[in-house]
Structures are given as structure tokens and as C-alpha cells.
Amino acid sequence: MAEIHYDTATEKAVHEAELRALDRPTIRAGASTPWGTAQVSRRYADGIVLHSTASHGGFHLDESANPAVHALFRNVGGFYEEDCERAKVAHTFPKLFTAYEWGLADRTLRDYLPDAYERVMGVTLDGSQSHTRARQELERRHRNDWVVIAALNSDHKPGFVECIATLGGIRGETGGRRFLVPGSDYVIGRYGFVIDPVKHEPYDGPSSFVTWAARP
């Protein structure tokens, strides 16, 4: 499972106190999971077990627990891997998790499954509430702008970054253009770098990209 990072010492202390109050006993290992044989297994409640294997892990919800997961989040078979899909379990059974764990789960679902989250929760998410929605808003706003899809420091123009950009930042599009951007300008935001046509002119000179350098 990914390492947990806390915003404040108080948040960490509250989480650890709540964690101590939860009953998550270790049970007999050896269960077969999609990630291999369980080496450590912890029971969160009847029918809800977290398995850890040599390489990965996740929750298994049996036939009595899995139906409690909303159909839009539910996995057939009841297995939920530990990185992202554990959020579905925590969100469904908040009393089995700390407030901090539930908050992480809520954020994960909003970021990665916003369509399902909106339908399950009866809300509409905007870019401040979901990474996916923020990216979609950016794509709509810049669909006619040149957005960088690849960049590296130029071997031919020291101090500049050679960029390959496409309209809207759509990968696989034909008609990509190259630009030289001053290194001091090239600050990548959360969802990419948008070419400023006033400051960043198209570049047709020698390329530091192998595929472009090989072109006649």
C-alpha cells in the first residue's frame, strides 16, 4: 500500500488514535487472491478481509459483504486491489476505517471515478474537487491551443526546452509542431504546459528528439 502522508501532526495523531480503536485482527494466511497467495490477512469485519501478498494485495469481500458496495463501484468476485480500489471498500464501510482513511478514499473516487461518484452521491464535481474534472476543464479550455506532449532540454539551443505540441494536447494526433521555450518559462502545471503563441515561436531547426532528428 502506498505510504500515507499527513498534512498536520494533529491529523496524524487523530488517525492513529482512531486506528487503535479499530479491531483488525490478523487471521490465518494462505488464501488465494488475484495477487498471489496471502502472506498476511487481517479481518476488518465479517466477510471483509485485507490480504497482503509478496507483491501486492487488496480486500476481499465475500458474498455477504460485496452486495453492500454500490453497483457502480462493485467488483464482480469481491476483490479490490489495495492502491485505488480499496477506496470503494472504505467509502462503503466508513465505520471500519478512520476518518482520514475515509477522506483519502473519497478523494480517490472523485479523482479517478468521477462519473460513478456523481451518480452514487448525487452531486456534480468541478475541477477543484476532482483531478479528472480539472483535466477535462483544461482540455475544453485549450482544445484550440498548442499543448506540449513531449519536451527535453535542447542540445542545439542551450537554455531552451524543445517541445513537441499538438492541438489540445491530444496524443497520436498528426500535425504536431515543435517549439523552443526558454527554460525559465517552462514550468509545468498540474496538467501540462500550454504554448504562448506570442512568446514561443514554432521551431524547425535541428532536433534533440531522435525521431525528429532522423527526419529528412
pLDDT, tens digit (0-9, with 9 covering 90-100), for 24-60: 999 999 999 999 999 999 999 999 999 999 999 999 9
Are residues 46 and 19 part of one domain? yes
Domain end point (choices 132, 163, 195): 132
User: Looking at the structure, do residues 20 and 48 belong to the same domain, yes or no?
Assistant: yes
For residues 15 and 91, membership in a common domain is answered with yes
Does residue 199 sit in the same domain as residue 148? yes
17 and 108: one domain? yes
CB-based contacts of 141: which residues, under 8 Å, 6+ apart? none
**Would 39 be classed as within a structural domain?**
yes
C-alpha cell of residue 144: 484550440
Residues 22, 119, single domain; the answer is: yes
Same domain, 76 and 170: no
Which residues lie below 8 Å from residue 204, measured CB to CB, with a gap of 6+? 178
pTM above the 0.85 mark?
Answer: no
Are β-strands 79-81 and 146-153 bridged in parallel, bridged antiparallel, or unpaired? unpaired
Domain end: 72, 99, 132, which one? 132
**pLDDT over 60 at 216, yes or no:** no
Q: Give domain status of residue 2, yes or no.
A: no
Half-sphere exposure for 158 (CA within 13 Å, toward CB):
0
pLDDT above 90 as % of the chain: 74
Q: Is residue 119 domain-shared with residue 206, that is, in the same domain?
A: no
170 versus 93: which is more confidently predicted?
93
Mean pLDDT of the chain: 91
Residue 211's pLDDT band (cuts 50, 70, 90): low
**Has residue 166 been placed in a domain?**
yes
* 102, pLDDT greater than 70: yes
Q: Which set of grid coordinates corresponds to residue 8? A: 498536520
* 104/183 same-domain check: no
pLDDT band at 214 (very low <50, low <70, confident <90, very high): very low
Assigned domain for 1 exists: no
Res. 92 pLDDT band, cuts 50 70 90: very high
In a domain, 194, yes or no: yes
Q: Which of 33-42, 65-74, 161-170 has the lowest mean pLDDT?
A: 161-170
Same domain membership, residue 128 and residue 148:
no
| Whether residues 49 and 118 fall in one domain | yes
Q: How confident is the model at residue 188 (pLDDT cuts 50, 70, 90)?
A: confident
Does residue 3 lie within any of the structural domains?
no
Question: How many domains does the chain divide into?
Answer: 2
Say whether both 79 and 22 belong to one domain. yes
Query: Which one, of 93, 95, 79, 91, lies nearest residue 31 by Cα?
Result: 79
Residue at a domain's end among 132, 150, 166: 132
- Tell me which residue range forms the domain holding 120: 9-132
